[in-house]
Amino acid sequence: MSDKTIVVITGANTGIGYEAIKAFLTATKPYQIFVGGRSPEKVESAIGSFGSTGIHTLIPFQLDLLSDESIGAAYAKISSEVDHIDVLINNAGAATNTPTSRATLLQDYNVNVAGTYVVTETFLPLLIKSSNPRLLFLTSGLSSQEEAGQKDSPRYVNPPAGWPKPPGPMFLSYRTSKTALNMIMIDFDRLLKNDGVKVWCISPGMLATNLGGDKELLKRLGAEDPYLGGDFIKNVVEGARDSDTGKVVRRDEIQRW
């Protein structure tokens, strides 16, 4: 049996997932990381960009959250190589920055909620075999219903009376899908208590990634460097927030529902 901590991370060829791998590669204890992404070529390129990985091992796999067939094939590949996994990091996601419609709601829910749920359910047989299983879901500070309803929130805007209204804050499809993802986390935390699985939603803060398609806009709005999210994920995996399981955790606090 491998002495390495075995991690499966989705959507890891870019953004916060990529930064998480960079953080894991600095660890003094060895990791075996299955690096997932929709494009095998982009995953291979991301892995190649790290150069020597030292005591750690990076293994690519293809994963499309919109395809149950792809999810099943990913599980078949990984389960043929290891008899358990220690950590499942549901990092892959979508953010539609256009006016809200049925299409945008369905797209973001299909990826962020349905796809993530199917991945988790599929990989649980491997995860619960670990002696220290950990399950992470990447959510967003925008998913907090309590904060969104506060009058000092930048998303709390009172437009003039009448209809139609002027365009409001974008990312409603993304925000509501991440709120739903928080509920998915709560339910898995309940279901997996007796299996010893530690479960969290990770709310990394506003980081300058390509999620939503405009990294430069995010920087102008004050987004921080994505490496902070990668370090945060590593810290949670290595035990920094073990007292906060079943919660949405930020780097410095618990996020309000």
Query: Which of 18, 31, 117, 174 is an active site residue?
Result: 174
Query: Which of 18, 31, 117, 178 is an active site residue?
Result: 178
Is 39 in the active site?
no
Is 174 in the active site?
yes
Number of H helices, E strands in the chain: 9, 7
Is 31 in the active site?
no
155/146 Cα distance (integer angstroms) = 12
Query: Which of 140, 144, 177, 203 is an active site residue?
Result: 140
Q: Which long-range contacts (CB under 8 A, 24 or more apart) does 187-193 make?
A: 188/120, 188/135, 189/245, 189/246, 192/124, 192/128, 192/133, 192/135
Torsion of CA 103, 105, 110, 113, to 10 degrees: 180
| Torsions phi, psi for 6 (to 5 deg) | -95, 120
Q: Which helix (H) or strand (E) holds 17?
A: helix 15-24
Catalytic residues: 140, 174, 178
